[in-house]
Structure 1
Amino acid sequence: MSTQAGTWTLEEAERYLLGLELFGMRFGLDRMRRLMTTLDQPERSFDSIHVVGTNGKSSTVRMIAAILERHGLRAGAYLSPHLVSFVERIRIDDRDAEPQAFAKAVQRAAHAAALVDRSQRDDDTVTQFEALTAAAFSELSARAVDVAVIEAGLGGRWDATNVLPSTVQVLTNVGLEHTRWLGPTVRDIAREKLAVVRDGATLVVGADLHPDAMEEAQLAAERHGARLVQAPDEPGVEVAAPGTFQRRNFALARTAAAAYLEAVGRQLDIAAVRAAAGAVLVPGRMQVAGHEPLTLLDGAHNPAGIAAIAESLPQLTAGRRLVAVLSVLDDKDAAEMLRALLPHCEQVVFTRNHSPRALPPATLASLAQQLGGPPSELEADPRRALERARELAGPGGVVLATGSIYLIADLLRPAGQRSASIL
């Protein structure tokens, strides 16, 4: 596909991005720095808040942006992954990017990527995430945002987003995930994520940070002369997004927003905080998708994420019958996820999402049986699995679909629409 031929449509932009996915993931910042230079360094035209961590990043990003918007700032956000369309990755003024604007941004990034690729080795071309990130920074700059809240993709040190001269860095939490790339221990992973800390900045960390990660945060702050702030457990306002974990995420977002406002000589307005807390709902995070039975969709995809859901289930189910729909990828600790969730379930329907890395439903059922789980059924098709779970739960019950963001994408995507990558 030529990067010069006419103005791209959203379909052409997505086709370009999906084509890049075939070439895999390659860490390093050299390609990204070249992209930024080619695009006239858009990442330097707005203030930024950089969010890293194992879980809760997307929710925290949305919440920070919502708080800042209600302080009269033009706020943007860059998120990953998306659920249905790539346009969800770029948000300005609390709205997803318009399809045509997104397509133009990707086309600009693609043109820059073609120039960068000419100067690189054949096996060192721009990746999908780099092109997406470049498009996001280009669009945020073109739309003249005051501040952008940016979610890191994987890790921090070599993540494409780590070209930002951010004012505030946020570490949500640290768990054992992506150990192949980030290291075998919480301390190793924290160190990789905290490589985003900038000299003289403010580092904000979550309330429930692992002690080893907290030590690394203290070391990073000392090394960079940065101020370290730990968020409280509670946000101090009512939060519309359901789940105890979302209260913690909002407490972190409030603290990060306050740190940014202080850096630019302003104070946090509690009325603005309260308005944001009452408005922000996060797609795919305890999202209500139906009633009678109450049907919830949550993209928790690792043990810590499932444990956070499990903590909130007694309050959400209020003693009602819970039936889960579950699909898990083969690189996750499925046993630990099941161990956290199964005690809360009356029944489970195991299914398979569209990712080629999805575990077979029978494998999950066998594992659940070994763990002494409740009765289960197998249904390979996610939509049929959800309908079966709703039948089993009955009008007065609760259904929870979880275990993989790919499963949530399958359930939210309009019937008949082809699946797009959500890397």
Structure 2
Amino acid sequence: MSPRPDAAAAAAARRLEERRQVREIEAEILSRAPENDIGPSLERIRAVMRLAGDPQRAFPVIHLTGTNGKTSTSRMIDTVLRELGLRTGRFTSPHLHDMRERIALSGKPIPRTKLIAAYADVKPLVDLVDARSLESGGRRLNFFETLVAVAYAAFADAPVDVAVVEVGLGGTWDATNVVDGRVSVITPVDLDHTHLLGPDIGSIAAEKSGIIKPDAVTVSALQDDDAAEVLRERAEQVGARLVLEGTDFGVTARAVAVGGQLVSVRGLAADYPDLFLPLHGAHQAQNLAVAIAAVEAFVGGGEQPLDHDLLLTACASMASPGRLEVVRRSPTVVVDAAHNPHGARALVTALEEAFTFTRLVGLLGIVADKDAVGILEVLEPVLSEVVVTRNSSHRALDPARLGRLAAEVFGEHRVTVVPNLPDALEQAVTLAEADGLGGGVLATGSVITAGEVRLLLGHEEA
């Protein structure tokens, strides 16, 4: 039975009002200092949490850091936990399309009504802490700190049985680190944000190791020797148990399959053979092994096997939008969020394994503070030519500058500069079509670039 016209009109009016309020909230949060404008202090976020009654203590946490693979691993952990029947919260960054993606409840972006309510709860507290900080010569909470406060309030209000929380940047001084994770997860550590986190892998690992807490379990992916030593020292220092990929758990076998791969994993408590994962690349198989170990550590201290049939179901439904994702056919357009050389290397390896392009055109938009030359050098062997552009971020590298860098790596004859992203996408598709059915486009260089190409091709949800 259809709703009465007046009831339908009222419902539509409510939805419009909710959208308006969410836009205002996003504008207010975005007006703050950006998330990469950080300082070595948790005072502001701790003050807000105290005033709110420490909502972050209302639920157990699986806390993730690392250089690459955090969001994919977070989504995998979330999927398995939900298959176990748990109500989950998930906090990740950045988002592809909608800020609400960063705060997920039971696998879905937070409903507008719940975002509005959580923001209403924390805004007066944030304003109070801002005022006190400014009076003492400090500064307001930044974009990320504010969003963390909203997320923890929303998770406590839901309530969730467990929150899967990804750091924004680093670890020790990241705003998420007002929680004590029952399980901490360290995905591969590599060079990124060196101007903020340190000049070498050891320094970066030391910053990220700050999420390792006493009496917790830390699940670490394969690491550089320097990073692994830092993690071991931190775990010993605080009395945490450290389990390592390749020693305590890991991928035992994998084979390319239609639409993904077949992965066998040795977990902490059992072996899990022949799991179909609808994602490409050895790095995603490794992310899966880390995710399984993290869930084992959370639900049974690493001693209780997970049900194999449950894992089969969970793995088959796993997705990682914007990560080696096909968003169009004829020609094939693939988007990937690789934004540093380490991510680009994983991308290239997976591309060569899962796809057979006869001509692959790169569509590249990179943020100014990233290692653009390093990314270009990794991608050069697999790209026939590149179309250089920019995404909508104010931090995007100027296309003319990126074009000059690309010409040094690819040669001028393989580089086209198109400053406008929609026009650049059209140009890349045209170049790929020149090779018939074997041509394709790879859009990469930034999460923002991947997200905006997804949106241009009709993918509005992540």
Relative to the length of structure 2, the TM-score reads: 0.84
Asked if residue 158 in structure 1 is aligned to residue 189 in structure 2, the reply is no
How far the C-alpha of 1:264 sits from its partner, in A, is 9.3
Which residue of structure 2 lines up, in the alignment, with residue 336 of structure 1?
Answer: 374
- For residues 386-409 of structure 1, what are the alpha-carbon distances to aligned partners after superposition, in whole Å with 9 as ceiling and x for unaligned? 121111112432211000112123
Matched residue, 2:423: 384
AA at the equivalent of 1:322? L
What does residue 86 of structure 2 align with? 73
- Partner Cα separation in structure 2 for residue 391 and residue 319 of structure 1: 15
CA contact (8 A) 2:90 2:105 kept: yes
Moved more, 348-357 or 262-271: 262-271
Q: Does 1:174 align with 2:189?
A: yes
Q: More deviation in 371-380 or 99-108? A: 371-380
Aligned partner of 1:421 in structure 2 is none
1:290 paired to 2:328: yes
* Cα deviation 1:205-245 (Å, max 9, x = unaligned): 112x1110000111111112211111314552221122332
Larger deviation, residues 396-405 vs 47-56: 396-405
Matched, 1:398 2:413: no
Q: Name the structure 2 match of 1:94.
A: 107
Query: What do residues 295-319 of structure 1 show as CA deviations (whole Å, max 9, x unaligned)?
Result: 1111111110111101111123224
Letter in 2 for 1:17: I
Corresponding position: 1:363 with 2:401: yes
Of the three residues 380, 388, 407, the one matched with 1:350 is 388
Amino acid at match of 2:80: I
Match of 2:33 in 1: 21
Q: 1:211 is matched with which residue: 225, 238, 244?
A: 225
The structure-2 alpha-carbon separation of the partners of 1:80 and 1:203, relative to structure 1 and needing over 3 Å to count, comes to same
Closer/same/farther in 2, CA of residues 66 and 85 from structure 1, 3 Å limit = same
Q: Is the 8 A contact 1:76 1:148 kept in 2?
A: yes
Match of 2:133, SS? Answer: coil
Residue 256 (structure 2) aligns with: none
1:304 to 330, 342, 356: 342
SS of alignment partner, residue 189 of structure 2: coil
Aligned residue in 1 for 2:213: 198
Read off the aligned partner of 1:216 and give its amino acid letter. V
**Offset at 1:359?**
2.0
User: What secondary structure is seen at the aligned counterpart in 1 of 2:438?
Assistant: coil
Q: Is the 8 A contact 2:63 2:167 kept in 1?
A: yes
- Structure 1 residue 246 corresponds to structure 2 residue 284: yes
CA RMSD of aligned residues (A): 2.1
Aligned mate of 1:58, from 66, 71, 79 = 71
8 Å contact from structure 1 (residues 13, 107) kept in 2? no
Query: Which residues of 2 match residues 237-276 of structure 1 at below 5 A?
Result: 237-263=275-301, 266-276=304-314
Equivalent of 1:321, from 359, 363, 371? 359
CA contact (8 A) 1:292 1:396 kept: no
Contact 2:429–2:441 (8 Å) recurs in 1: yes
Which 10-residue stretch deviates more, 258-267 or 72-81? 258-267
User: After superposition, what is the alpha-carbon deviation per residue over 1:24-61, rounded to whole angstroms, capped at 9, x for unaligned?
Assistant: 43341111111111111111111100000111111111
* Unpaired segments ≥5 residues, structure 2: 1-16, 253-262, 265-274
Q: Which residue of 2 aligns with 1:187?
A: 202
Query: Quick check: 1:198–1:226 contact (8 Å CA) kept in 2?
Result: yes
Contact 2:65–2:208 (CA under 8 A) maintained in structure 1: yes
1:178-225 Cα offsets, whole Å, 9 max, x none, are 122211111111011001111111010112x11100001111111122
Could you list the per-position Cα deviations for residues 314-349 of structure 1 after superposition, in whole angstroms to 9, with x for gaps in the alignment? 123224321110011221111111111011011211
CA contact (8 A) 1:240 1:278 kept: yes
Question: Do the aligned partners of residues 105 and 414 (structure 1) sit closer, same or farther apart at CA in structure 2, a change above 3 Å counting?
Answer: farther
SS at match of 2:84: coil
Query: Which amino acid counterpart does residue 402 of structure 1 have in structure 2?
Result: T
Choose 376-385 or 315-324, whichever is displaced more: 315-324
Percent same amino acid at aligned positions? 36
Alignment-derived partner of residue 146 in structure 1: 161
* Pair 1:107-2:120 in alignment: yes
TM-score (norm 1): 0.92
> Residue 165 of structure 1 contacts residue 198 of structure 1 at CA under 8 Å; is this kept in 2?
yes
Question: Which structure would you say has the larger RCO, counting Cα contacts within 8 Å and 6 or more residues apart?
Answer: 1
Structure 1 CA distance, aligned partners of 2:410 and 2:125?
A: 55
- Give the CA deviation at 1:361: 2.4
Native 8 Å contact 2:297 2:303 kept in 1: no
Q: CA offset at residue 171 of structure 1? A: 0.4
| Matched position secondary structure for 1:238 | strand
- Kept in 1, the 8 Å contact 2:101–2:109? The answer is yes
Deviation at 1:79, TM superposition (A): 0.6
1:4-19 aligned within 5 A: 9-19=21-31
Deviations 1:337-377 (A, max 9, x none): 11110110112111111223322223333223322457121
Structural mapping, 1:33-48, within 5 Å: 33-48=46-61
Task: Give the Cα separation in 1 of the matches to 2:134 and 2:403.
Answer: 46
1:267 shift after superposition = 3.6
| Runs of at least 5 residues in structure 1 that lack an aligned partner in the other structure | 1-5, 417-423
Deviation at 1:158, TM superposition (A): 0.6
Q: 2: CA distance between counterparts of 1:292 and 1:303?
A: 29
Aligned AA (1:62): R
Give the conservation status (yes or no) of the 8 Å contact 1:105–1:139: yes
Q: Deviations over 1:143-199 (max 9, x none)?
A: 111111000011011110111021000000111111222111111110110011111
Alpha carbons of 1:265 and 1:117: their partners in 2 closer, same or farther (altered >3 Å)? Answer: farther
- Conserved? CA contact 2:293–2:302, under 8 Å: no
CA distance in 1, matches of 2:457, 2:278: 29
Q: Which moved more, 1:229-238 or 1:310-319?
A: 229-238
Matched residue count: 410
**Which residue does the alignment assign to 2:271?**
none
